[in-house]
């Protein structure tokens, strides 16, 4: 059998190649990985032992590498053959915040625990929190930016909300929406820990 590496890649009609998604993926991956390393075709050829002309044909989708050739190329990139032909995972559009992830604990002391439920990396005009107040505990806040408002829902216990001199008592299941660009506070009025969900909105103006 011929010993040339060049002969171990088969050329097929382009119409047949176009119908082979694995072939298209492999060709694109070789080109992508080579450019990411900053390699020329000559450098990749030296690393894997496959001729420059054959690598060029593979990258352009004009040649279908045999298993042996694909294995050599994968080795040059220090990866398995499976990794070479596997499509990179698409980034998830679902952001998850796990209950035990302390990176999202905004504040935690004997009186108040605040856990942010909004992804930290986002630039946003809405913030979402879970607030736990111990018995007698209170969260007192200075005015936020102009136009800021808070929407609070009581999950457990009872709380007293004050905003700009007005006061309202809330029980489990109650909600309140109030200005947060003025001095405001939330105080636990029950004999157990109070848990509230708090959404802070900021005006876009």
- CATH 3.20.20.190 corresponds to the domain 8-85: no
Query: Picking from 47-51, 95-99, 123-127, 149-153, which range would have the lowest pLDDT averaged per residue?
Result: 123-127
- Looking at residue 122, its pLDDT comes to 59
Q: CA end-to-end span of the chain, whole Å?
A: 75
The whole-number average pLDDT for the span 62-73 is 86
Task: Read off the pLDDT of residues 100-122 as tens digits, 9 standing for 90 and up.
Answer: 877 778 888 889 999 989 876 55
Q: Quick check: do 8-85 and 102-201 share a fold?
A: no
One-character DSSP codes across 74-100: HHHTT--HHHHHSPPPPPPS-----TT
Query: What's the pTM?
Result: 0.55
Q: Does residue 3 carry a pLDDT above 70? A: no
Q: Which among 190, 170, 189 has a CA at the least distance from the CA of 198?
A: 170
In degrees to the nearest 10, what's the CA dihedral of 199, 203, 204, 205?
Answer: 180
Q: Which among 157, 151, 162, 154 has a CA at the least distance from the CA of 198?
A: 151
- Looking at residue 129, its pLDDT comes to 94
Task: Read off the pLDDT of residues 127-167 as tens digits, 9 standing for 90 and up.
Answer: 899 999 999 999 999 999 899 999 999 999 999 999 999 99
- CATH 3.30.300.160 corresponds to the domain 102-201: no
Task: Read off the pLDDT of residues 122-138 as tens digits, 9 standing for 90 and up.
Answer: 556 888 999 999 999 99
For residues 145 and 181, the answer to whether their CB atoms sit within 8 Å is: yes
- Looking at residue 87, its pLDDT comes to 60
Confidence of residue 204 (pLDDT cuts 50, 70, 90): low
């Amino acid at each position: 059998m011929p010993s040339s590496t060049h002969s171990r890649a088969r050329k097929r009609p382009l119409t047949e190649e176009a119908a082979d998604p694995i072939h298209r993926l492999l060709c694109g991956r070789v080109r992508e990985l080579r450019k990411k390393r900053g390699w020329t075709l000559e450098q990749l050829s030296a690393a894997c032992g496959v001729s420059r002309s054959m690598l060029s044909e593979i990258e352009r989708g004009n040649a279908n590498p045999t298993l042996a050739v694909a294995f050599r190329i994968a080795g040059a990139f220090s990866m398995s053959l499976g990794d070479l032909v596997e499509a990179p995972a698409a980034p998830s559009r679902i952001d998850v915040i796990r209950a035990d992830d302390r990176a999202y604990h905004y504040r935690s002391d004997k009186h108040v625990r605040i856990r942010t439920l909004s992804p930290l990396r986002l630039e946003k005009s809405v913030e979402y929190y879970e607030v736990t107040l111990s018995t007698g505990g209170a969260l007192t806040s200075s005015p936020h930016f102009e136009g800021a408002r808070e929407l609070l829902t009581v999950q457990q216990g009872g709380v007293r909300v004050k905003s700009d001199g007005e006061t309202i008592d809330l029980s489990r299941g109650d909600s309140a929406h109030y200005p947060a660009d003025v001095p405001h506070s939330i105080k636990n009025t029950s004999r157990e820990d109070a848990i509230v969900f708090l959404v802070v909105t900021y005006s876009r103006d």
